[in-house]
Amino acid sequence: MTVAIIDGDVLCFIACKNRWEKKVPVILNDNNELVSYVRLDSDGKRKPLEYTKDEDRKFLEESWDNFNKHLKTLLDMLYNPDYLMAVKGKDNYRNLLYPEYKNHRHRDPTKQNVFVPILRELAVAEDMAVAADGIEADDLIRIWAEQARSVGIDYIICSIDKDLKCIPGRHWDIKKNILLEISEEEARLNYYTQILKGDPTDNIMGVPGIGEVKAKKLLAGYANEEDLQRRVLEQYVAVYGKNWFHELVLNGRMIHIMRTYNDYFDPKQWPCVVELLAKEKLKEEERLKQEAPDEIRGDSPNNNRISAKDIKI
């Protein structure tokens, strides 16, 4: 038995075709090359297009039809397996922890496709998809994959999202129609690479100055999980100094994709973090002791500390 675990958000976006081509004449330059589909106003800004209710209704019907066609084509290519589909739901704990998370994606409301959320709602209403309320669709996809693996069910993750490549197993690229096999070692490396470099598309900083290439280079040759964790920790300490723990928690919480419900990122599960925190605590206790008055430390030459027997009631 095989189950296809589908990123429904990708299907929703693919299903909504570009409306500008049909509404705006193509603008060509003197060399007959495409310049723009976009009509500009007198200020040089993109002029919003207006659509009638009938045009909106027709576009939604076409988009929903495209969604179903894409789904059928995908399942046909995979020889009609059973499937589970996750789509974006209400809220996301990441936004509560870090309000800037993915915030730059929505600065211009005119660039948002208002029909994508409608397709999500339709897919859920038709029992074709499950809304990932409180978490992300990525979390739900990984949770399902881990559940399938735990009971010996084969699965194929269907998406285009690079973040999901921290999940070992078979991956189907919905756009390229390519099957990839991600090993345990590759998945582990992809995960710690993400924590190092962050994700600029989602507004996740990671470690400043470390991109994809440098992250891979820093982690090259490390296969053991504890070694990878220690390597990541070294970079956070080197760059963030005293704030290393806060930044590691913040970036980790944004990057980490849940394996089970309530599986939040916790760096205190890393042995190297526990070790470093213990050293820092000991160092701080020693510092406070050195700064304390002689009477409190018990280092006074006369050792004239007040004891309980000296107090008269």
State pLDDT tens for residues 192-230.
999 999 998 888 999 999 999 999 999 999 989 999 999
Closest of 185, 178, 171 to residue 142, by C-alpha = 171
* Predicted confidence (pLDDT) per residue in 221-277, tens digit: 998 999 999 999 999 999 999 999 999 999 999 999 999 999 999 999 999 999 999
- Residue 21 has a pLDDT of 53
Q: Which of 114-128, 228-242, 288-302 has the lowest mean pLDDT?
A: 288-302
Closest of 261, 150, 252 to residue 197, by C-alpha = 252
Rounded to whole angstroms, the Cα distance separating 121 from 114 reads: 12
CATH code of the domain occupying 2-21+55-182:
3.40.50.1010
Q: Where in the chain is the domain with CATH 3.40.50.1010?
A: 2-21+55-182
Residue 76, Cβ neighbours under 10 Å: how many? 9
* Per-residue pLDDT at 308 exceeds 50: no
Closest of 93, 234, 78 to residue 158, by C-alpha = 78
Angle of CA points 150, 154, 157, to nearest 5°:
100
